[in-house]
C-alpha cells in the first residue's frame, strides 16, 4: 500500500498535538504519525477515514513530510461521499435536491439538512467584460448567499464590474481521496479568463493556489480597495486550516486593522473548527469533541463575534452559538453607511 | 473472560486496539527495532488505569506503560510482544497551588507551562516538549536546554502517585531518610506505574537574553563553554550546533539563516536586568578570548526553534537516525568532539552534533538507511565507539534519553558487575515476576533479531 512518501517520516511525534483528532482521542490510530505508520506497515486503519484533512500536521512536521499526498492516496471515498461531492460541483442542482430533500428518504440528505437548515438558491449575476470574477465556492453559494450579495455590493460600490462564478474547486474531493476528480475541477478554474479570479472561501483559495490557479482571496483583493471605511466592533478571528497553510490570516487581519476593528485574538486561531469540510456529517462524535475544544478557545477570548472566511467553519461555529461573519459582511455595512 | 474482552469492559470498546492496528504502537521515537504489541489499551482516567494494571498483574501479563511514544532510546518498544498501556488520555491538570501543579502522566510537557500562571514556568524542556508526556519525562529523567541552570526533571518532581506490582496505589514524596521517590525518576517504567505527578514551577526571571556566537571550529566553541563557567556565569541555556547540524537544519522547515560556520553557540542568560547585563559582559569577554564572534539575528525565536527541531529535521537527509546522549565533563568537550569527527571518518558515517553544551550532554546524530542493515550496523558501531570515548574521559552513557533498548550494553561497561547486581536486586524487589517493561534499562533478554543482537551484545 506504500505511496513512496511515508519513508521521510522519522516518527518523532511532533505532529501529535497539532492534530485535532489526536488531541481529542489521544490515540495513535487517529494521529498523523499513526496514519503514516499504517501506510508504512500496510495496515488498513480506521484512522485513514478519521483524518479531518486540516494539514496542521504538515506545519508541525520538522522533516517536511507531505502528509496530504500520503493520506489522499490511501483514502477511499464511500459512494455516499462521492454522491455528496458530485452534488457540490453543481451548487444549483444541490440546492434543488436539498429543497426537495425534505421529503426524500435519504439518511445523508437528512443529515445535511440538519446542518444546512436553510439552503439558499445560489446567486447568479453576470456583467459584460467583468473586472472581477467572484467565486463564492460551492458551500458558500448554498449556505451564505447573503455573504455573496454583500461581497457583490461592496465591489459594486467600488465601481467594479463583476460576474459570479458558481462551482466547486475540488478541495472536498481531494480531501476524500478523489484526487483525479479534484484535479479536473481545479483545472477548469485555471482556464478562467477575462478578469481577476477572487475567491470568497479562503480554504478554496488555498487549494486553488496550491494547484497553480491564479486566484486572489477576497481579503487580499479588497486590501487594495479600502479607503476611509470604518467598522466599530470587537471580534476575534478564526483561521481556516488550508488558508492558514498559505498564511491568508495575515491579509484577513490587515483588512480588519484598516477597518479599525478591535481584534481580540483567540488561543490557537488556526486550531481546527471541527467541520473538516463535510467530515462532521460522517464522524459526528470526533467532530463534536473538536468543535467543543475550539469553542472553549473562542470563549476564552471573551468575545462572541467571530470572523470566519470559510463556509464549513462558519456553519459549525454557528452551531456552537457564536455570531459568525465574513469580511464581506463587515464591508457591506460600510457601504450602507456611506449611502446614508 | 479473554483478556481483550475484559480490558474492553474496563475502558470501553474503542479504547482497546487489537488486530493489525495494534502495530501502530510497534515503535516510538527509536525506530531501529520494530516491536509487536499483543494489545494496546488506553484507559481514560486514573480509576480505569488502576483496574487495567491490576488485571494485567493478576493475570501475569507483561506490559509496557507508554506516554506520547517519543522515547529516543526505545524505552516503550514492545520487543517481547507485551501489552501496551497508553496513558496519553490521563492528561488532566488536577490542581495548582503556589509553585506546585498536579497533573496526569499523559499531559504534554508544554501544557504544564501553558496551564501555569503567567509569572511561573515549568523548567525541564526536552526538545520534544511540545509532545512528550510528563510521565515519560519522569521515567527518562528528561533534560532539555534549561537543565544547565534548573536541573533535569528530577529537580522538578515533588511527589508521585504510583501503582506497585502488588496492585497497591502509593503516594510517594521526598523524605529526609531512605526516600522512595527518587528511584522512580529515571526508572523507565521498570519499577511501577506513574499515575499522577506533583511538579515544581519556577518564577519566571525578570529578564531573559539570548546571545548567539559563531566559531571557526568545535574546539574553540568548546573552549568558550568551559570559559563561561570558569568566569562564574551559569547561563540558563548553553547549546552548541556544529557545521553538519547547521547544514541539516538550514535545509529544513526550521531554517533560520545560520551561516555556514564550524560551530554555533546559543546562550541564554536570565535573572534581573543588572545581573544579566553583568553576565553578558563576562560572556562577551570569553567569546573574544576564544575566537568567537557575536551573531546578530533578526528573529531569536527562529534560531532557538532551529535548535529544538534539529533532531527530526534530520528527516530531510535521512528517514532514520540514532541519537546518542552521553554526558561528558565540560572540560573534555573539545577533545571528545574532535574524536567524534575522527570516528565518523573511520566508520564512514555522517555525524551531526547538536547538544546541551552547558552540561556536557552530547547528541551525536547518526543517520542511517533503514532499508540497509549494513548502514544501521555501521551507525551502531560508530555509537559504540563514541560512548566508549565518553566513558573514557569520565562521562556517563546517557544524560537524558534513557537506556531503553538502545544502550543496555553500556550499563555493564559503566557500572561494573557489583553495581549491576545491586540494581537487578532492586528491580526484583519491586517487580519480582518481571512484568513491567521487560528487557529495558537492565536488559536481561535474549536478542531475537540481528539488530537487537548488535545493540545488546559486544562483538
Is residue A28 less than 8 Å (CB to CB) from chain B?
yes
> What is the pTM assigned to this prediction?
0.94
pLDDT at A61 over 80: yes
Measured between beta carbons, the chain A residues lying within 8 angstroms of B132 are 13
Contact B107, B132 (CB under 8 A): no
pLDDT (tens digit, 9 = 90+) per residue, B102-135? 999 999 999 999 999 999 999 999 989 999 999 9
What residues of chain B, 170 to 209, have a C-beta less than 8 Å from chain A? none
A305-307 and A323-325 beta bridge pairing: parallel
* Interacting residues of A10 by C-beta distance below 8 A, sequence separation 6+: A63, B31, B312, B314, B315, B319, B320, B321
Residue B46 lies in a domain: no
> B131 with B71: CB under 8 angstroms?
no
Placement of cell 429543497 in the chain: A99
Q: What is the pLDDT of residues A161-208, one digit of tens each?
A: 999 999 999 999 999 999 999 999 999 999 888 899 999 999 999 999
Q: Does B334 reside within a domain?
A: yes
- How much is the pLDDT for A24? 96
pLDDT for position A103 = 62
Question: Is B196 contained in some domain?
Answer: no
Q: Which residue of B has its CA nearest to A42?
A: B20
Give the CA distances from residue A93 to residues A36, A199, A200, B213, in Å, rounded to whole numbers and listed in that order: 37, 21, 20, 64
Residues of A in contact with B86 (CB under 8 A): 26-28
What span, in angstroms and rounded, lies between the C-alpha atoms of A258 and B445?
67
Best of A23, A24, A26, A45 to substitute, by most chain B Cβ atoms within 10 angstroms, is A26
At residue A122, the pLDDT reads 96
Q: At what angle do helices B218-230 and B273-289 cross, to 10 degrees?
A: 140
How far is Cα B399 from Cα B376, in angstroms, rounded to an integer? 23
The CA distance from B24 to A28, in Å, is: 7
Chain B touched by A332 (CB under 8 Å): no
| pLDDT recorded at residue A104 | 63
Q: What are phi and psi of A93, to 5 degrees?
A: -65, -40
- B252 and chain A in contact, CB less than 8 A: yes
Look at residues B326, B270, B263, B313 and name the one whose alpha carbon lies nearest to residue B292.
B263
What is the model's pLDDT at position A280? Answer: 82
Q: What is the mean pLDDT of residues A206-231?
A: 96
| Interchain CB contact of A13 with B (< 8 Å) | yes
Per-residue pLDDT tens for B40-87?
999 999 999 999 999 999 999 999 999 999 999 999 999 999 999 999
Q: Is the per-residue pLDDT at B262 higher than 60?
A: yes
E strands of B165-246, at which residues? 169-173, 193-200, 202-203, 207-215, 237-242
Banded model confidence at residue B343, pLDDT cuts 50, 70, 90: very high
User: Number of structural domains, chain B?
Assistant: 1
Asked if A245 contacts A58 with a C-beta cutoff of 8 angstroms, the reply is yes
Chain B positions touching A62 (Cβ under 8 A) are 252-254, 309, 311-313, 315
Q: Calculate how close chain B gets to A76, using CA atoms only, in Å.
A: 18
Q: Choose among B17, B24, B252: nearest Cβ to A37.
A: B24
Residues of A in contact with B110 (CB under 8 A): 17
Q: What is the pLDDT of residues B286-308, one digit of tens each?
A: 999 999 999 999 999 999 999 98
ipTM value for the complex: 0.93
DSSP structure string for B142-169: ---TTHHHH--GGGGEEEEEEE-TTS-E
* Mean pLDDT for chain B overall: 95
Q: Which residues contact residue A312 at a Cβ distance below 8 angstroms, ignoring those fewer than 6 apart?
A: A139, A203, A273, A275, A276, A277, A278
Contacts of A33 in chain B (CB under 8 A): 69
Partner residue opposite A26 with nearest CB, options B17, B89, B315 = B89
Q: How far is it, in rounded angstroms, from Cα A291 to Cα A288? A: 5
CATH number at residue B338: 3.40.462.10
B128, closest residue in chain A (CA to CA): A14
Q: Please give the pLDDT value at position A100.
A: 79
Q: Is A196 left (phi over 0), alpha (psi -120 to 50) or beta?
A: beta
- The pLDDT-based confidence of A102 (bands split at 50, 70, 90) is low
Return the residue of A nearest to B28 by Cα.
Answer: A11
CA distance linking residue B237 with residue B50, whole number of Å:
39
Under an 8 A CB cutoff, do A13 and B21 touch?
Answer: no
Which one, of A96, A64, A52, A88, lies nearest residue A242 by Cα? A52
Q: Is A285 on the interface with B (CB under 8 A)?
A: no
Asked if A65 and B315 come within 8 Å (Cβ–Cβ), the reply is yes
Give the domains, in start order, of chain A with CATH numbers: 6-74 (1.10.1060.10), 81-222 (3.40.50), 226-339 (3.40.50)
User: How far A325 CA sits from the closest chain B CA (Å)?
Assistant: 30
Look at the alpha carbons of B62, B65, B69, B75 in this order and tell me if their dihedral is positive or negative.
negative
- The rounded distance, in Å, linking the Cα atoms of B265 and A47 is 42
pLDDT (0 to 100) of residue B279? 97
Residue B37: the pLDDT is 98
Residues 70-89, chain B, touching A (beta carbon < 8 A):
70, 86, 88-89
Do strands B263-271 and B207-215 pair parallel, antiparallel, or not at all (unpaired)? antiparallel
Per this entry, what is the length of chain B? 459
b or e along B157-170 (b: 16 or more beta carbons within 10 Å of the residue's beta carbon)? bbebbbbbbeeebe
For B458, phi then psi, to 5°, come to: -80, 150
Q: Which of B61, B105, B68, B54 is nearest to B83 (CA)?
A: B61
Grid cell 571528545 in the structure block, residue: B336
A10/B contact by beta carbon, under 8 A: yes
Query: Exposure of B224 by Cβ count < 10 A (0-12 exposed, 13-18 middle, 19+ buried)?
Result: buried
Compare CB distances from B25 to A9, A28, A65 and report the shortest one's residue.
A28
For residues A328 and B313, the model is more confident at A328
Mean pLDDT of the region A195-223: 97
Does B167 contact chain A (CB < 8 Å)?
Answer: no
pLDDT in tens, A130-160: 999 999 999 999 999 999 999 999 999 999 9
Helices (H), A44-78: 47-50, 56-60, 67-74
Residues sharing a CB contact under 8 Å with residue B284, sequence separation 6 or more, in sequence order: B294
pLDDT band at residue B328 under the 50/70/90 scheme? very high
8 Å CB contact between A142 and A112 = no
- Round to whole Å and give the CA distance between B372 and B445: 25
Mean pLDDT of chain A: 92
Mean pLDDT in residue range A202-224? 97
pLDDT value of position B194: 98
Q: Domain limits at B240?
A: 207-392
Which pLDDT does position A340 carry in this prediction? 42
Residue B265, pLDDT above cutoff 60: yes
Mean pLDDT of all residues in B359-374: 93
Q: Which three cell numbers stand for residue B408?
A: 543496555
- The answer to whether residue B253 is domain-embedded is yes
Task: Please indicate if any CB of chain B lies within 8 Å of the CB of A45.
Answer: yes
Amino acid at each position: 500500500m506504500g505511496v513512496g512518501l511515508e519513508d521521510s517520516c522519522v516518527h518523532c511525534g511532533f505532529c501529535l498535538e497539532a492534530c485535532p483528532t489526536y488531541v481529542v482521542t489521544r490515540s495513535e490510530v487517529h494521529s498523523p504519525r499513526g496514519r503514516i505508520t499504517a501506510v508504512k506497515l500496510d495496515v488498513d486503519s480506521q484512522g485513514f477515514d478519521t483524518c479531518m484533512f486540516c494539514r496542521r500536521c504538515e506545519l508541525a512536521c520538522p522533516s517536511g513530510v507531505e502528509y496530504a499526498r500520503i493520506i489522499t492516496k490511501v483514502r477511499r471515498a464511500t459512494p455516499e461521499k462521492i454522491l455528496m461531492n458530485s452534488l457540490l460541483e453543481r451548487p444549483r442542482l444541490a440546492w434543488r435536491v436539498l429543497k426537495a430533500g425534505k421529503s426524500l428518504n435519504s439518511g445523508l440528505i437528512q443529515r445535511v439538512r440538519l446542518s444546512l437548515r436553510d439552503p439558499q438558491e445560489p446567486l447568479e449575476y453576470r456583467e459584460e467584460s467583468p473586472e472581477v470574477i467572484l467565486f463564492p465556492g460551492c458551500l458558500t453559494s448554498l449556505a451564505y448567499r447573503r455573504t455573496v450579495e454583500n461581497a457583490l455590493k461592496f465591489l459594486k460600490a467600488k465601481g467594479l464590474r463583476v460576474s459570479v462564478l458558481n462551482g466547486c474547486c475540488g478541495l472536498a474531493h481531494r480531501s476524500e481521496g478523489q484526487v483525479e476528480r479534484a484535479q479536473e475541477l481545479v483545472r477548469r478554474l485555471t482556464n478562467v479568463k477575462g478578469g481577476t479570479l477572487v475567491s470568497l472561501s479562503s480554504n478554496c483559495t488555498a487549494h486553488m493556489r496550491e494547484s497553480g490557479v491564479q486566484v486572489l482571496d477576497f481579503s487580499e483583493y479588497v486590501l487594495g480597495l479600502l479607503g476611509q471605511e470604518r467598522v466599530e466592533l470587537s471580534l476575534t478571528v478564526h483561521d481556516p486550516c488550508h488558508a492558514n497553510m498559505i498564511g491568508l490570516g495575515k491579509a484577513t487581519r490587515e483588512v480588519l486593522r484598516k477597518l479599525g476593528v478591535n481584534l481580540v485574538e483567540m488561543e490557537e486561531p488556526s486550531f481546527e473548527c471541527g467541520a473538516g469540510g463535510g467530515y462532521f456529517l460522517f464522524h459526528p462524535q470526533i467532530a463534536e469533541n473538536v468543535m467543543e475544544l475550539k469553542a472553549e478557545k473562542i470563549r476564552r477570548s471573551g468575545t462572541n463575534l467571530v470572523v470566519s472566511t470559510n463556509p464549513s467553519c462558519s456553519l459549525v461555529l454557528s452551531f456552537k452559538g457564536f455570531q459568525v461573519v465574513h469580511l464581506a459582511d463587515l464591508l457591506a455595512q460600510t457601504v450602507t453607511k456611506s449611502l446614508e | 473472560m479473554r483478556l481483550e474482552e475484559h480490558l474492553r469492559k474496563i475502558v470501553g470498546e474503542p479504547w482497546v486496539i487489537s488486530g493489525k492496528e495494534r502495530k501502530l504502537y510497534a515503535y516510538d521515537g527509536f525506530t531501529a527495532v520494530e516491536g509487536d504489541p499483543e494489545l494496546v489499551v488506553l484507559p481514560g482516567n486514573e480509576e480505569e488505569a488502576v483496574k487495567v494494571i491490576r488485571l494485567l498483574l493478576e493475570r501475569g501479563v507483561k506490559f509496557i506503560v507508554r506516554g506520547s511514544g517519543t522515547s529516543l532510546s526505545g524505552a516503550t518498544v514492545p520487543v517481547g510482544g507485551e501489552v501496551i498501556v497508553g496513558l496519553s488520555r490521563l492528561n488532566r491538570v488536577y490542581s495548582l497551588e503556589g509553585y506546585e501543579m498536579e497533573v496526569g502522566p499523559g499531559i504534554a510537557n508544554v501544557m504544564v507551562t501553558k496551564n501555569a500562571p503567567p509569572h511561573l514556568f515549568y523548567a525541564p524542556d526536552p526538545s520534544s516538549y511540545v509532545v512528550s508526556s510528563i510521565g515519560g519525562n519522569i521515567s527518562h529523567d528528561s533534560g532539555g536546554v534549561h537543565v544547565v541552570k534548573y536541573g533535569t526533571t528530577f529537580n522538578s518532581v515533588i511527589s508521585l502517585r504510583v501503582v506497585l506490582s502488588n496492585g497497591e496505589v502509593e503516594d510517594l514524596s521526598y523524605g529526609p531518610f531512605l526516600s522512595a521517590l527518587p528511584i522512580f525518576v529515571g526508572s523507565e517504567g521498570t519499577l511501577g506505574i506513574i499515575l499522577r505527578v506533583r511538579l515544581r514551577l519556577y518564577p519566571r526571571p525578570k529578564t531573559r537574553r539570548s546571545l548567539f556566537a559563531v566559531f571557526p571550529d568545535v574546539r574553540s566553541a568548546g573552549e568558550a563553554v568551559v570559559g563561561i563557567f570558569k568566569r562564574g556565569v551559569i547561563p540558563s541555556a548553553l547549546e552548541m550546533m556544529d557545521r553538519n547540524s547547521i547544514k541539516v537544519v538550514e535545509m529544513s522547515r526550521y531554517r533560520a539563516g545560520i551561516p555556514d560556520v564550524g560551530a554555533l553557540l546559543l546562550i541564554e542568560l536570565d535573572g534581573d536586568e543588572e545581573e544579566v547585563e553583568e553576565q553578558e559582559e563576562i560572556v562577551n569577554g570569553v567569546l573574544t578570548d576564544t575566537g568567537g564572534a557575536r551573531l546578530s539575528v533578526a528573529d531569536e525565536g527562529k534560531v532557538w526553534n532551529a535548535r529544538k527541531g534539529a533532531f527530526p529535521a534530520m528527516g530531510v537527509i535521512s528517514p532514520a537516525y540514532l541519537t546518542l546522549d552521553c554526558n561528558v565533563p565540560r572540560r573534555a568537550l573539545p577533545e571528545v568532539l574532535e574524536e567524534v569527527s575522527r570516528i565518523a571518518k573511520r566508520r564512514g558515517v555522517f555525524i551531526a552534533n547538536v547538544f546541551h553544551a552547558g552540561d556536557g550532554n552530547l547528541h551525536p546524530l547518526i543517520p542511517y538507511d533503514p532499508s540497509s542493515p549494513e548502514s544501521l550496523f555501521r551507525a551502531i558501531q560508530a555509537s559504540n565507539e563514541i560512548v566508549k570515548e565518553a566513558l573514557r574521559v569520565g562521562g556517563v552513557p546517557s544524560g537524558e534519553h534513557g537506556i531503553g533498548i538502545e544502550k543496555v550494553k553500556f550499563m555493564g561497561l559503566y557500572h561494573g558487575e557489583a553495581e549491576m547486581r545491586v540494581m537487578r536486586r532492586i528491580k526484583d524487589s519491586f517487580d519480582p515476576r518481571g512484568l513491567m517493561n521487560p528487557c529495558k534499562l537492565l536488559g536481561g533478554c535474549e536478542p531475537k533479531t540481528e539488530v537487537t543482537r548488535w545493540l545488546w551484545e559486544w562483538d
